[in-house]
């Protein structure tokens, strides 16, 4: 049975918190210092760098590229690896989805490959960077699939529930 929007959202939120908490130190310890150094003019002494002054002196293109590197390198790529490895695992779910008893599979019921799950995350990530693009990933269509699910032929499911008579409701 396709998962409800609320359950999917709750699972996503748990995963977002996990990824954010794990990636925040990586971002500040590795990604941002590397970007500051890359923005310095050639020949600059890197031992006494004022990050604020470097940022203020950077061109608009440098700032845009730096932000893309921070967002994608600091959060996007590690998150994509987390989602792809978890959804293509034996669990067929991230920790957030598993907590809510959701599974990710291809529409034909087969397991999702690492590559398919990685591409699915990248589509979701890119679309949500567009203003109001998040509307494209909302699971509102017939099988409650977002654009990223449709393009990757994937469905997020929840276990069937039991009705009052004890029979499975599909």
Going by C-beta distance under 8 Å and a sequence separation of 6 or more, which residues neighbour residue 139? 2, 3, 5, 8, 145, 146, 149, 156
pLDDT for the residue 165: 44
Q: For position 114, what pLDDT does the model report? A: 96
User: Per residue in 113-127, pLDDT tens?
Assistant: 999 999 999 888 888
DSSP 161: E
Q: What is the structure's pLDDT at 49? A: 65
Beta bridge partners of 169: 161
d(CA 1, CA 15): 22
CA 170 to chain centre: 29
Question: Model's pTM, two decimal places?
Answer: 0.72
Looking at residue 42, its pLDDT comes to 62
Q: What is the pLDDT of residue 112?
A: 93
Q: Residue ranges of the chain with pLDDT lower than 50?
A: 164-165, 169-170
Question: What gap in Å lies between CA 79 and CA 124, rounded to an integer?
Answer: 11
């Amino acid at each position: 049975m396709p998962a409800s929007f609320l359950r999917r959202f709750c699972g996503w939120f748990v995963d977002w918190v996990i990824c954010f908490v794990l990636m925040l130190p990586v971002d500040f310890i590795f990604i941002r210092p590397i970007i500051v150094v890359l923005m310095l003019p050639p020949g600059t002494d890197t031992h006494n760098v004022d990050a604020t002054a470097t940022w203020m002196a950077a061109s608009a293109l440098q700032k845009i590229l730096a932000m893309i590197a921070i967002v994608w390198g600091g959060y996007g790529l590690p998150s994509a690896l987390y989602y792809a490895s978890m959804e293509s695992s034996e669990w067929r779910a991230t920790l957030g989805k598993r907590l809510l008893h959701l599974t990710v599979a291809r529409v034909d019921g087969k397991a999702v490959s690492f590559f398919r799950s990685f591409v699915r995350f990248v589509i979701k990530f890119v679309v949500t960077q567009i203003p109001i693009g998040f509307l494209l990933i909302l699971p509102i269509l017939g099988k409650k699939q977002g654009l990223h699910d449709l393009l990757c032929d994937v469905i997020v499911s929840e276990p069937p529930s039991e009705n009052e008579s004890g029979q499975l409701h599909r």
